[in-house]
Amino acid sequence: MRITGFFKSPKFKRIASEFSERLNQENELKGLIYLSISSLKEIFNLKWVVFYDNNKQQTIFGPGYESGSLGNSFSIKPEFSEYHSPKFFTTNIWVVLPIKVRDFSGYFILGKRLFGRVLDKEEKFVLSLIYEHIKTAFAKAVLYEGLSKQVHAQVKNLTYKNRRLNEVINNRLEFVQTASHELRTPITVLSGALQLLLQNEISDNEKKELLRLAYNRAQNLASLVTGILRLAKYQKDDSELNLKEKVNLLSLFQDVLSVARSEIENRGLQIKINEGENLYVLGNRIYLEQAFYNLIENAIQNTESGKIEVFFMVDEKHIVTAIRDSGKGIEESLRANIFKKHAKGKTSGGLGLGLYLTRVIIDTHHKGHVWFESSPQGTTFYVRLRRSMV
């Protein structure tokens, strides 16, 4: 078709060239919609242009649109489902340009010309050319958006894996550093005592004292190794951990107290468990047993005389277990960091890992919560876990 009039003018060529260049550069659907609205309005001297997004069921209004211009009875008609060519009207709606690319679909709705003239053959031809260019740009934008989502998902996945890898590396490095630092002193003392025992110049009493020292340090060494191994075990990834076992808390505490019974008896402490019914929680029994053992052990170590009490509070979704001791309470300076790694009081032995591991097991693995209240009359630790309803 021979193009004449406005469409051969320098103004049209400039507008069309700028529009074409910006279409090629725009990769986002939202930007493409606004660009097309403003350019179509300018090129064809229209009162208004809007875009109806089928996916979001919303209309994007361009400049110049006045309320009610679409008419009260406007709706996306069945014949608009053909996405291959413009639809021409003589009402308030001048032209509809359907757009469909993969799962994305919508319509550019063009209002009347400012001077009220209908579209002639030449203008229809030019509009068809521009329409094809717009459809191509939308196809590119939809593809770009899909690729962007895929890349974003891959980056997110790689970032997560990289973070987990760094955590593993840091945990292993910390394991080595902790082991080397904590084991150095007892090994040095043990080695010195054994070296002295090899000398013939020492008396029997001195030998007995050195043997006692070596035995105590060996016991201390075994305790440290146990603590370090616990640290390595309970900091690991829980992706393969069964956290949906039905755990009987009363049975669990019977096992915990049987392990700690000799320490309890040596200190002359009283233990009281306020029993109840249906005290079942969801979790991993082995992990929970370790967490509650740490709390019982902490109560024993900080209670010189008196009693330790275990009681339960139950609601519809959770069970809160409380472990209360009659000790002197937690030092004020230690309370803010009590659940941090290596936090321990001035008279405490060990690595200071028990309460830290308890928090990891309860808060991190089981998505529960552990907290405490402390005063000079004693300390109470609370553990909230999901209740098993089965």
pLDDT digits (tens, 9 = 90+) for 5-33: 556 667 677 777 777 778 777 778 888 88
What are the pLDDT digits (tens) for 180-194?
655 665 677 677 777
pLDDT of residue 72 exceeding 70, the answer is no
Give dist(CA 87, CA 83) in Å, integer.
9
65 neighbors 37 (Cβ within 8 angstroms):
no
Which neighbouring-strand residues pair with 314?
319
Highest mean pLDDT among 59-73, 145-159, 165-179, 343-357: 145-159
Backbone φ and ψ for 198, nearest 5 degrees, come out as: -75, -15
Question: Which position has the token pair 């090899």?
Answer: 198
Query: pLDDT class for 119, splitting at 50, 70, 90?
Result: low
Query: Mean pLDDT over residues 110-118, rounded?
Result: 69
pLDDT at 324 over 60: yes
Instruction: Say whether pLDDT at 177 is over 70.
Output: no
Domains of the chain plus CATH, in order, are: 5-154 (3.30.450.40), 245-386 (3.30.565.10)
Q: For residue 379, what pLDDT is reported?
A: 94
Task: Show the DSSP H helices in the chain as ranges.
Answer: 10-25, 29-43, 121-197, 204-234, 249-267, 285-301, 354-359
Give the residue-averaged pLDDT of 109-120. 70
pTM: 0.49
Q: Give the integer Cα–Cα distance in Å for 262 and 258.
A: 8
Backbone angles phi, psi at 317, to 5 degrees: -115, -20
Which residue type, as a one-letter code, is found at position 355? L
Query: Quick one: which of 298, 301, 356 has its CA closest to 323?
Result: 298
Question: Does the pLDDT of residue 3 top 50, yes or no?
Answer: no
More confidently predicted of 40 and 372 = 372
CB distance 283 to 245 below 8 Å: yes
DSSP states of 305-334 as a string?
Answer: SSEEEEEEEE-SSEEEEEEEE-S----GGG
pLDDT value for 80: 45
Whether the pLDDT of residue 220 is over 70: the answer is no
Alpha-carbon distance of 87 to 338, in angstroms, equals 72
User: What pLDDT, on the 0 to 100 scale, is given for residue 86?
Assistant: 61
Read off the amino acid at residue 212: R
pLDDT surpassing 90 at residue 311: yes
CA–CA separation, 161 and 363 (whole Å): 21
> How much is the pLDDT for 350?
60
pLDDT score at 100: 84
